[in-house]
Structure 1
């Protein structure tokens, strides 16, 4: 693929030359080209079936059809012959180049879809405005897609943070936009999933929308996939089978096109491999009745536990090579690496990726070492452009799959979608090229680079510790300047609004973090003076100091702007950033504006402590309690304390393969965030003495990955005690989430054979370290899951000198 040199080509008076026999996706592509230019410029290009002397032309069509048009010598059909399916040639030629009175642009597709993708590439290169359209450089692009499968899941259900508020027309536009960046598949959902059947924002009934979406997808010549979980209680029950098949038959019979059915092993649903494959055979027979070429794809997702027996049973069924099976899906909760899965699956079955591009933590690909201040406020599902991270995640595993249909919960990951589409087309595509084309096509063709750089700046906002990240203020300055210079139309564009919101939100969060951290230091100083002022007076003073975060807030103008933009986004695209005003499902489902003032210091834990101090019987006891509060993390002289969820504390943990090689952390420990700790019942928090932030952010390991904690420069003549805080997973009514772990030293000494970690609880254990383990002044302590739930969480560790 090659681009040309700078040459301005005026296309304001161009005519589109195409075959009168153009049909299907080819005809749609020609319509899209004319419509997209018209709505941006007001210029309506004429459509011709042969070139006219002196008229600039854009020749558009498949190589096969263009061969039959007059002027076949300039169609580029010969060059297009070397393309793979869905590829295209995009060429420009000046009048001098072609010996004509006017320039020529050629879009020649290897097939009908190739025409659509060539049109998309041209639109992404254009400069446009009211009354003009031009190219600022000549083009010579000859390209075919790297990945056979390139797509996105668009779920119409109340759980999503925007899609449930959309009309069919909005979906049509979004599907078109994804196709312009190379998508060839769209995955939709049935009316019944693990969500409410309808929501207050839905404009169309779910089944009707599903039918409409399938028709829209087909109109662009794209493939329709359905994500279809098994929601029945018991598939050995004939009545359940009858009901489930009847539901599917109604859908299969009404949808104009289904190319594939993706059925997850769990999340939701939970079936063992034997009944799963037996049930799928029945579904496949019904699917073939209405869509003879459609296949079923399965994922070995295991939501709650890791079982070698489950995986082996799954592999056993796949090795029988059922004809109805189209391939295997790798996505969240698949407990083996993609290379390992590829080795285990028969070669005849392709593997498709189902990558989570939408969540920030507690997910398949969490933001690496994300600052707790962002976790507390932006939460799991916020506007999250991560272009460089997404490119890396794509490329490090690209060779093992035929492509990807991204998992998304709405509009928050919009940039990531287009990064994935471009990387699926060509993994060598520079991120900045995609972002410039994104800005050029969707925001402002004259300021595309500024917008692209602004998106990269938002990704840098999330790198490292927020308190010392100097990029955050600069990022907001640049976005505010773009805001001042933007037109009214641009300021009402949701893609501009949501990234502008992120710039304000990040800066507001940093201002609060610095302020509230200072308030906590000031409050602790008041407590340190309790011996003079008295315990109750010191506690009152400390609490008043902490309350100033609410009574004397900082950067109120940033907060106000965030709320204004949240309202604008709800009006422009149905983005649901609050529960009360915008009907979001919950704060965890994208309503991060509801957490804009979440405390960023330990005020919640301190308040619990203050309440217990006030209840104490006498001054001596209260002063002792204040002393213990201030010394909670003190390891004593010669000891060590590490909060493993902090940047500093995590440095003591062996990173294993690390994010670069293992972005899904299937074989590496990681910093994780447990917001559920803060939502524990108040009584339970009181019993624990409160929940410090050091428990919310912690080190987490999946499956059998160990957490290795290393110490150097120890005194070999000292006896040590190891103390650790283990966090149980959030409780679940549907699955057991208790976990057991072992602790050993230097792979030779067992400190604890099995530590029981109950779900929804905190377990604190102390254990002696054998003197032999530190005889050379070094110590490695290994904490590993032995059985039970597949996530192991360790929040804090101490290495204490024994007296």
Structure 2
């Protein structure tokens, strides 16, 4: 029962609500007052250390100028009254040319902490000053970055949408990215010094404070795309880092035998020292323990100690780091014992990367006086540290390992999971295709709780314009959703394609923006792949129906017709308009940033290195495998045996009533598989990615788990497995002995399931992992297909 409000009270309540709404509106209007910065003048404190005093002003002037056509002047004196000013000062400054720096906060305020800053708008009378207050030189740069990310910039327009009063300092001290000017990179090897300068600047604008180079190219021929020799570029990158006050790291492995090859050891040390002499800035040396390399830490640690003694001759504050990647248990124990007994002061810390012990274990075992840095792989999607979960096979075989891969929410979770065990990160990257991931990692390391959608908006606003910040941010989120679950069932892929197609049409001025080109390319590629997948899988179903109707008299004719049907994927291709646009975008990306997506056109290091256009038409049905199978079957002289082989093809994925089939790592064809493959061998890489094997055999797991229900308690069942190497099967926890056990590639194993295990109508299937620690991961046992066959 509701009580009745007297009319006067109701009127009073209504008026109060209206007044409150009006007051809030007024307050909001005042709070949301825009700040016009048209034709600003930069006034810079002389107390800002060089070179940042010049660098920060240059960054602001040039980035504003590119987007607005305003010629931003820098001067030491205040301009005439009414001129908008951007003032750069140190937190220790109390005044600038007679004007008071805004009132200080407490000593624990962000602008007094390392790399911290405060940006504040001061508007009164004719004064319009936007202050950038930095705790140090980097604080000035990062405060300038915040302003650039939040300005609305267009022709004849430069403004903040509301008055600023924002202060911040980073959560983690190390926030960096590896930019290797080497043959294996899919873009960096094609960049000029100016392109590296611009890219490093843009990373700094989003909070990056470290760049890692790869200086020594042992065993690698020079890239055909090099603008200057690698020896010269590594010095120029050091100069760029010096200008932006960013730490310069070097990734440098030891691939020779340190124990026996004494001459190489001496030559290596001398090569390093010669480089150190020439390098204007050098802060850290990172030595990956066993990736690559095969030296025991008893040899590595003395080598690094000697390396450090040469390093500090020229860079007294530079540090040495090591990773335990690829180390055995004995080698890891040796390393920690060395730290306990020798207590090396020349070692700064340990890096955790792919193949390292867990980050939690490393932090717990590592003495607290040593730092711990993450080396996350943000560049790969399969065969990597953080593979895309439930990645559809069609993507894995076409987009592959290095495609345009914005993963905002996945990487935010990954970063948040591991960051607390570290002092920060320097990512592994082999090209610009992971550009957004770099920004995400840098900004979340600055503020681990920063809203992911806000990061996307700032990314879109700065690179594409404030008017696109909401739409482009949502479009990038949609691209991440494209990769979730069975592709054929994901109608959102088409919506994402149409969304980006409309954005492309609405913003023709972004046509030559390489970040925009990459995102549009991904949207078109995803849609094209989905359309092909649906079409080509349907062709294979039709071909199987033809084979299923074959008899002794029609074997050859049935194979010919079935092959003609599946080959329509080549002879009668679909979506040619999308395919043509993909070619155009790929060529445009090669022109803008040297992105090498085609072997024929762009001369990449190898097809695995982001060369997605080599695989854009890779079969998404088994037409290549069927061609080879039919050739094999034609050599069989017994017609009945030929029919039996055709029957095996027809029933591969459809074993009949009461029987079950699972493609182990296919999100669409493995409904009973409970495990998600998260190891480095989720997708095979045979014949440079152009394997003719059955598609199911190209995805696999090592120890899958499956549950079966609604089984016939009275029936006898047989389990069949296709794969390579060993498969140590258990049913309901009981190890079964095989009745057939072949270990060759794509061969079969079989077990009979005891009736006692199926009498409750269900079973659980698991596999023990065979002992294969001595094998390279590419040679480990694999399971690709499993059948539960009702006899």
Instruction: Tell me the TM-score normalised to structure 2 length.
Output: 0.90
Query: Cα distance, 1:371 vs. partner?
Result: 0.5
Conserved? CA contact 1:160–1:409, under 8 Å = yes
2:119 maps to 1:90? yes
Once the two structures are overlaid, the 10-residue window that deviates more, 499-508 or 628-637, is: 628-637
1:675 to 672, 682, 685: 685
Instruction: Provide the rounded CA distance (Å) in 2 between the counterparts of 1:756 and 1:254.
Output: 59
The C-alpha deviation readout for 1:601-637, integer Å capped at 9, x for no partner, is 1112211111122222243332232122212345455
2:538 maps to 1:511? no
The C-alpha deviation readout for 1:495-533, integer Å capped at 9, x for no partner, is 111111111111111111111111111111221221287
Once the two structures are overlaid, the 10-residue window that deviates more, 2-11 or 53-62, is: 2-11
1:308 to 329, 354, 357: 329
Query: Cα distance, 1:74 vs. partner?
Result: 2.6
- The two structures, once aligned, show a CA RMSD in angstroms of 2.6
Partner of 2:345: 323
Instruction: Provide the rounded CA distance (Å) in 2 between the counterparts of 1:50 and 1:678.
Output: 63
The C-alpha deviation readout for 1:109-149, integer Å capped at 9, x for no partner, is 11110110000000001111123211112222111101110
Once the two structures are overlaid, the 10-residue window that deviates more, 464-473 or 13-22, is: 13-22
Instruction: Flag the 1:4–1:375 CA change in 2: closer, same or farther, 3 A.
Output: farther
Conserved? CA contact 2:46–2:53, under 8 Å = no
Instruction: Provide the rounded CA distance (Å) in 2 between the counterparts of 1:529 and 1:607.
Output: 18
Query: Cα distance, 1:14 vs. partner?
Result: 2.3
Instruction: Provide the rounded CA distance (Å) in 1 between the counterparts of 2:585 and 2:266.
Output: 49
Q: Residue 37 of structure 1 aligns to a residue in which SS?
A: helix
Structure 1 stretches (4+) deviating beyond 6 angstroms? 77-80, 752-756
1:233-252 equivalences under 5 Å are 233-252=257-276
The C-alpha deviation readout for 1:404-448, integer Å capped at 9, x for no partner, is 111100111011111111111111111221121112111222222
Instruction: Provide the rounded CA distance (Å) in 1 between the counterparts of 2:732 and 2:552.
Output: 48
Conserved? CA contact 1:19–1:66, under 8 Å = no
Instruction: Provide the rounded CA distance (Å) in 1 between the counterparts of 2:747 and 2:642.
Output: 26
2:438 to 388, 406, 417: 417
Structure index of larger Rg: 2
The C-alpha deviation readout for 1:78-130, integer Å capped at 9, x for no partner, is 678553210111112333xxxx3132211111111011000000000111112
Query: Cα distance, 1:197 vs. partner?
Result: 3.5
Partner of 2:195: 170
Structure 1 residue runs without a partner (length 5+): 660-664, 682-689, 701-705, 729-739
The C-alpha deviation readout for 1:311-360, integer Å capped at 9, x for no partner, is 322332333431121111111111x3211221121122121011011111
The C-alpha deviation readout for 1:7-52, integer Å capped at 9, x for no partner, is 2211013222221343232431122112211222121223343545
2:494 maps to 1:492? no
Instruction: Provide the rounded CA distance (Å) in 2 between the counterparts of 1:505 and 1:196.
Output: 32
Query: Cα distance, 1:784 vs. partner?
Result: 2.5
Q: Residue 480 of structure 2 aligns to a residue in which SS?
A: helix
Conserved? CA contact 2:397–2:689, under 8 Å = no
Instruction: Provide the rounded CA distance (Å) in 1 between the counterparts of 2:308 and 2:752.
Output: 58
1:396 to 417, 420, 433: 417
1:471 to 471, 492, 515: 492
Once the two structures are overlaid, the 10-residue window that deviates more, 130-139 or 499-508, is: 130-139
Conserved? CA contact 2:404–2:518, under 8 Å = yes
Instruction: Flag the 1:621–1:763 CA change in 2: closer, same or farther, 3 A.
Output: closer
Instruction: Provide the rounded CA distance (Å) in 2 between the counterparts of 1:346 and 1:726.
Output: 44
Conserved? CA contact 1:526–1:542, under 8 Å = yes
Partner of 1:139: 164
Instruction: Provide the rounded CA distance (Å) in 2 between the counterparts of 1:554 and 1:601.
Output: 14
Query: Cα distance, 1:572 vs. partner?
Result: 0.8
Instruction: Provide the rounded CA distance (Å) in 2 between the counterparts of 1:68 and 1:755.
Output: 82
Instruction: Provide the rounded CA distance (Å) in 2 between the counterparts of 1:428 and 1:140.
Output: 19
Aligned length: 755
Instruction: Provide the rounded CA distance (Å) in 2 between the counterparts of 1:678 and 1:119.
Output: 46
Instruction: Tell me the TM-score normalised to structure 1 length.
Output: 0.89
Instruction: Provide the rounded CA distance (Å) in 2 between the counterparts of 1:697 and 1:231.
Output: 31
Query: Cα distance, 1:774 vs. partner?
Result: 4.3
Q: Residue 54 of structure 1 aligns to a residue in which SS?
A: coil
Partner of 1:610: 630
Partner of 2:85: 57
1:727 to 724, 728, 731: 724
Query: Cα distance, 1:726 vs. partner?
Result: 2.8
Query: Cα distance, 1:67 vs. partner?
Result: 4.1
1:749 to 731, 735, 744: 735
Instruction: Provide the rounded CA distance (Å) in 1 between the counterparts of 2:294 and 2:637.
Output: 53
Q: Residue 587 of structure 1 aligns to a residue in which SS?
A: coil
1:427-466 equivalences under 5 Å are 427-466=448-487
Once the two structures are overlaid, the 10-residue window that deviates more, 80-89 or 198-207, is: 80-89
1:551 to 549, 561, 571: 571
Partner of 2:41: 15
Instruction: Provide the rounded CA distance (Å) in 1 between the counterparts of 2:549 and 2:736.
Output: 44
